[in-house]
Amino acid sequence: MTIAWGILLASGSDEEFEQSAVAGFLNLNSRPILSYSLRACEDCPDLEGYIVVAPRDRLEQVQAQAQLFGCHKIRKIVPGGATYATALNQGMEYLDDQVNTVLVHEVAIPFVTAQMMSDVIKASKKSGVALVGSSLQDAVATLGKNRVLESIGDASSLMRVTAPYAFSLEYLNKAIKAAKTKKKRLKSPMDLIGLVKAEVKVAPVDLFPERVRSIGDLTRLDALMKS
């Protein structure tokens, strides 16, 4: 039986914002970016509970958003470190003893849906790890020195992949241990994939969930949603 909890990472990032501006707490279409991930977790029928990891000075904001948006599945709001590794470890400390599947999502990716979360949780049942992805429709190019075009190839066998990720707890623990052993710096939870041998499943999506990395991304996506 799958018992899945989620860990929302609002702490630890490589986004190109000023240190005082954390992506999850900026507004997108008049709503905090974090609220989109909160809503998806609340609406996901395969997720029994979730933990939010946020900067210490933002914990009250998370609590306020949880109350405003009627979040009932949150089990804990905890302070996290400046890196994904420390933030993820902080969240894992509060998982229930019965949990055997962990969904990990970065709140800087706001266009996540409850269906995406359900799909990756189900896809991870056999392999132990899954993530979402969409097929590339255009041709892809290989660049050489000075960004000179070397070749153009068919992208039909390639996919863009991103969070949310679903891991069996066993796989996640082994991957974190492997990262520590290899002294690998995690730029994203995706860096854990491949550290332990497994058949990684991809849950296909039609609309790829974009990441907000910069103010430019935020402005572009905000204009798109309001158009």
Catalogue the E-assigned strands of 80-154: 101-106, 129-135, 140-143, 149-153
Instruction: Give the HSE-up count for residue 224: Cα atoms under 13 Å, Cβ half-sphere.
Output: 8
Read off the pLDDT of residues 92-120 as tens digits, 9 standing for 90 and up.
Answer: 999 999 999 999 999 999 999 999 999 99
pTM of the model: 0.91
- Closest alpha carbon to 55 in 18, 85, 32, 87: 87
Quick check: 23 and 48 in contact, CB under 8 A? no
How far is the CA of 223 from the CAs of 49, 193, 216, in angstroms?
Answer: 33, 34, 11
Pairwise CA distance, residues 120 & 132, whole Å: 7
- Contact call for residues 94 and 7 (beta carbons, < 8 A): no
Pairing relationship of beta strands 201-204 and 129-135 according to DSSP bridges: parallel
Torsion of CA 28, 186, 4, 209, to 10 degrees: 30
pLDDT digits 0-9 by tens, 40-83: 999 999 999 999 999 999 999 999 999 999 999 999 999 987 78
Q: What is the pLDDT of residues 2-32, one digit of tens each?
A: 999 999 999 865 444 444 457 889 999 999 9
Architecture of domain 4-226: Alpha-Beta Complex (3.90)
Tell me the per-residue pLDDT of 156-205, one tens digit each, with 9 for 90 and over: 778 899 999 999 999 999 999 999 898 888 888 888 998 888 899 999 99
